[in-house]
């Protein structure tokens, strides 16, 4: 279609630019979080992540000892180096908390009570006071801290904040809750697609209708039910809940796919004496692999990312938290301002879905198209 | 037992149990109840085939019935009772709820969400689908825009909490305002009314990829002759898009729109994580969660209101499915 007259218009540049713009808007927030997850806590609050490749200007305070003061030029002078010889550079300095960076290096800053202060780039300072110095004076200075990227946020959140436990819990919830509904749904989808029985149309309509039922309805009655049969809030309960909630989409997607399989294959197998069970396991199931894979990805992403079901059906003690609950209920409350920790926690929780997503994207898209566009 | 081990055991027991159920029930049906080797095999095969669909369907129907059909009735019944569930109070919960300011705000906000999110996500999805259609790097662009689909609502909320942060050194929004000379950082999540839109944008960000994938497939399905004919007749690209392409994929647009609408009515994570429903951002699902475990009567009443709002979509879906089957 590329060479139809008129399609290669002047719009082509506008198209390129608008797509770039959209991609940037869609990508930048995630990149920001990723960059921040590697940065030191103080650096995050000192400069934006978009400036992270550059040095950060940070303010410090140093006390200088009053007893080193020597009488000189009709007053008292303290000399020395604020870094004690370390290899750092001062950018600005000052002598008062209210205005910590009043002077540039090399200048002489006028302080209160006629005192003066000079700081050199390498940290050498000269402090002069006309009167005797009784208390240790403070020097305020700012240095350029080089960019500091490390895995310390990840180490911190994983090993001292129980995020590793939450990670394992999430896996524990997700794997059974992905595999079991697929199996149940595949049999049901086959029956709805290829078996003839009274009430089939009604059942299909019911499955479509149930796609829409809000989860919220299920919470209270089912929790009561779980308590009554003795499961209560537990992993077993959440597996059952995810299985129930995932089924309508699974049956719907798989049935739509199976209906599209060629009728001849199935009928000739039956003529040759295959039972429905054999037709299903030997022919339909292998042929349905793309649809099974796409639903598996969906159900995996959905159970991995779920917050609501986990909040209701899992016990609320910290040993049973999945990552979403851990982040939403614990970290955002207790570590609300600690952006480095939050960012690394978010990345730990989205790493697995992202890997699954980018490796299996083909199947995901195919499944979406099989189920939604008819 | 460690949870991971417990999970593996469940997979083995669960999968084994399912396979065993399907295999054994079919075996028993064929060999014991209606054996093909008995006096009239033909009749027995037919009788077995009358039962078999229900063997295949039973686990799914049982799970659906218990986890989705029963709760519709169970929730309604529970919502007619008081806080602890021991006293029947009729529509008392509903009366109290509708008089509550918080509920009215939540209802109004939910209305905004349903209006704005599906419309914007479908619009952006269609825009990206059309723009990337003939780009060389279109597939890469699509993948990147599709990516947020994989991110949890909680993760996405954190990502955007960062963008919205009330500090020009952390939040992009405030950094941009800073460049244009704004004096004080602004907490956009506390701007009454407008904060709702900042929350909605997170869901739009997640859902645009979904709309894009489906709409781009639909755009590819349009017969080229119609487009060629329009171009030969002198239509400009905008006319081709709005007058030729969009009408032909209207059905798909409606499906995408509906799907996102359903999602909006269920989602509570974003509001819960970002503002906890404060600053006038409550929506029905998060309003419901604030009563969950505390007053089940109220919570189920809110859930039932959500159900009633979803009902028209449900009916539309079922009619659509029935029309397709014919």
The DSSP call for residue B30 is I
Strand partners, A78: A127
A135-161: pLDDT as tens digits:
888 888 877 777 777 788 888 888 877
Does A145 or B290 have the greater pLDDT score? B290
The reported pLDDT for the residue numbered B202 is 92
**DSSP annotation string for A273-320:** T--HHHIIIIIIHHHTHHHHHHHHHHHHHHHHH--HHHHHHS-SSGGG
pLDDT tier for residue A82 given thresholds of 50, 70 and 90: confident
Confidence band (pLDDT; 50, 70, 90) for A374?
Answer: very low
Mean pLDDT (whole number) for B136-140: 85
For A205-264, write each residue's pLDDT tens digit: 889 888 888 888 888 889 888 888 888 888 888 888 999 999 998 998 898 888 888 888
- The pLDDT score that the predictor gives to residue A336 is 67
| Higher pLDDT, residue A167 or A121 | A167
User: What's the pLDDT score for residue A242?
Assistant: 92
pLDDT of residue B178: 81
Closest chain B C-alpha to A121 CA, distance in angstroms: 26
Residue with the bigger pLDDT between B200 and B14: it is: B200
The CA-atom distances, in angstroms, between A298 and each of A136, A284, A321, A361, B157 are: 65, 21, 22, 11, 20
> Residue A123 pLDDT more than 80?
no
What is the SS3 assignment for B186? Answer: coil
Check if B228 contacts A (Cβ < 8 Å).
yes
Span B220-279, pLDDT tens digits: 888 889 889 988 988 888 888 888 889 998 888 988 898 899 889 888 889 988 888 788
CB contact under 8 A, B59 and A184: yes
pLDDT at A57 over 80: no
Contact across the interface for B317 and A251, Cβ inside 8 Å: no
pLDDT at A196 over 80: yes
Angle at B300 between CA B296 and CA B304, to 5 degrees: 170
Of B63, B154, B167, the CB nearest to A184: B63
Quote the pLDDT of residue B37: 66
The whole-number pLDDT of residue B205 equals: 93
* pLDDT tens sequence across B213-222: 889 888 888 8
As a whole number, the mean pLDDT across chain A is: 83
Of B68, B218, B299, the CB nearest to A373: B218
Flag if A373 and B303 touch (Cβ within 8 Å): no
Q: Do B18 and A183 touch (CB under 8 A)?
A: yes
Predicted model pTM: 0.84
Which of the residues B8, B12, B14, B16 would you substitute to probe the A interface, choosing the one with the greatest number of A C-beta atoms within 10 Å? B14
pLDDT at residue number A291: 87
CB contact under 8 A, B7 and A173: yes
> E strands within chain A?
56-63, 70-72, 75-81, 90-94, 103-104, 108-110, 116-119, 124-129, 138-145
CB-CB under 8 Å, A240 with B67: yes
Residue A3 — very low, low, confident or very high, per pLDDT cuts 50/70/90?
Answer: very low
pLDDT in tens, B45-98: 777 778 888 888 888 999 999 988 898 888 888 888 888 777 788 888 888 888
Q: How is B110-154 classified by DSSP, letter by letter?
A: HHHHHHHHHHHHHHHHHHHHHHTTT-TTHHHHHHHHHGGGGS-HH
Question: Are residues B303 and B285 in contact, defined by beta-carbon separation less than 8 angstroms?
Answer: no
Q: What's the confidence (pLDDT) of residue A10?
A: 64
Tell me the per-residue pLDDT of A361-370, one tens digit each, with 9 for 90 and over.
Answer: 888 887 777 6
Which of the residue ranges A38-42, A90-94, A332-336 would you say has the lowest mean pLDDT? A332-336
pLDDT value at residue B117: 94
Which ipTM value was assigned to this complex? Answer: 0.87
- pLDDT of residue A325 exceeding 60, the answer is yes
Tokens 């004080």 belong to residue = B184
Please give the share of chain B, as a percent, with pLDDT higher than 70.
Answer: 98
Share of chain A above pLDDT 70, in %: 94
**3-class SS at A336?**
coil
B296–chain A Cβ distance below 8 A for any pair: yes
CB-based contact B63 A175, cutoff 8 Å? no
Average model confidence (pLDDT) across chain B:
85
């Amino acid at each position: 279609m590329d060479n139809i007259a008129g399609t290669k218009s002047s719009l082509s540049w506008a198209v390129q630019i608008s797509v770039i713009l959209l991609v940037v808007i869609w990508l930048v927030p995630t990149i920001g979080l990723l960059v921040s997850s590697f940065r030191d806590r103080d650096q995050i609050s000192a400069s934006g992540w978009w400036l992270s490749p550059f040095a950060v200007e940070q303010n410090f305070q140093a006390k200088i000892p009053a007893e080193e003061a020597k009488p000189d030029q009709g007053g008292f002078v303290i000399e020395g180096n604020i870094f004690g010889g370390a290899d750092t550079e001062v950018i600005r300095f000052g002598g008062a908390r209210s205005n910590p960076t009043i002077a540039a290096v090399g200048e002489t800053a006028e302080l209160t009570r006629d005192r003066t202060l000079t700081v050199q780039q390498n940290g050498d300072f000269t402090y002069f006071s006309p009167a005797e110095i009784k208390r240790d004076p403070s020097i305020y200075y700012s240095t350029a801290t080089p960019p500091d990227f490390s895995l310390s946020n990840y180490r911190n959140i994983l090993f001292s904040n129980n995020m590793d436990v939450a990670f394992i819990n999430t896996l524990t919830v997700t794997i059974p809750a992905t595999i079991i509904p697929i199996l149940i749904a595949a049999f049901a989808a086959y029956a709805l697609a290829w078996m003839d029985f009274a009430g089939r149309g009604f059942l299909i309509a019911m499955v479509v209708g149930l796609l829409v039922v809000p989860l919220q309805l299920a919470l209270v009655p089912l929790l009561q039910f779980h308590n009554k049969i003795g499961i209560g809030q537990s992993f077993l309960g959440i597996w059952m809940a995810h299985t129930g909630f995932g089924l309508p989409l699974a049956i719907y997607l798989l049935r739509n796919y199976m209906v599209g399989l060629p009728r001849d294959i199935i009928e000739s197998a039956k003529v040759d004496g295959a039972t429905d069970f054999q037709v299903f396991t030997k022919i339909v199931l292998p042929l349905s692999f793309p649809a099974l894979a796409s639903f598996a990805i969906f159900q995996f992403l959905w159970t991995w990312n779920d917050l609501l079901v986990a909040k209701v059906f899992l016990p609320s003690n910290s040993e049973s938290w999945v990552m979403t609950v851990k982040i939403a209920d614990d970290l955002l409350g207790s570590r609300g301002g600690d952006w480095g920790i939050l960012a690394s926690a978010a990345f730990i929780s989205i790493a697995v879905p992202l890997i699954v997503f980018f490796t299996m994207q083909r199947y995901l898209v195919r499944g979406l198209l099989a189920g939604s566009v008819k | 037992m460690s949870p991971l081990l417990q999970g593996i055991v469940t997979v083995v027991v669960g999968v084994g149990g399912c396979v065993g159920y399907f295999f054994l029930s079919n075996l028993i049906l064929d060999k014991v109840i209606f054996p093909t080797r008995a006096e009239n095999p033909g009749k027995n095969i037919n009788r077995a085939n009358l039962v078999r669909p229900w063997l295949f369907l039973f686990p799914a129907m049982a799970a659906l019935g218990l986890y989705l059909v029963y709760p519709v009735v169970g929730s309604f019944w529970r919502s007619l009772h008081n806080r602890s569930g021991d006293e029947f109070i009729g529509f008392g919960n509903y009366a109290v709820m509708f008089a509550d300011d918080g509920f009215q705000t939540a209802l109004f906000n939910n209305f905004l969400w349903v209006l704005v999110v599906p419309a914007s996500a479908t619009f952006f999805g269609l825009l990206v689908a059309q723009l990337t259609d003939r780009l060389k790097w279109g597939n890469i662009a699509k993948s990147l825009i599709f990516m947020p689909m994989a991110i949890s609502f909680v993760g996405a909320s954190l990502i955007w909490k960062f963008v919205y942060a009330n500090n020009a050194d952390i939040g992009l929004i405030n950094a941009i305002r800073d460049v244009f000379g704004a004096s004080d950082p602004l907490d956009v999540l506390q701007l009454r009314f407008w904060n709702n839109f900042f929350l909605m944008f997170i869901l739009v960000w997640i859902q645009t990829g979904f709309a894009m994938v489906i709409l781009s497939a639909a755009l590819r399905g349009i017969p080229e002759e119609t487009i060629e004919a329009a171009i030969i007749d002198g239509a400009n690209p905008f006319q081709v898009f709005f007058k030729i392409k969009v009408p032909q994929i209207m059905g798909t647009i409606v499906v995408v729109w509906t799907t996102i609408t359903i999602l909006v009515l269920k989602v509570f994570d974003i509001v819960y994580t970002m503002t906890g429903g404060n600053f006038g951002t409550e929506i029905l699902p998060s309003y419901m969660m604030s009563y969950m475990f505390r007053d089940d009567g109220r919570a189920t009443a809110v859930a039932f209101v959500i159900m009633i709002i979803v009902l028209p979509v449900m009916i539309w879906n079922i009619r659509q499915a029935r029309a397709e089957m014919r």
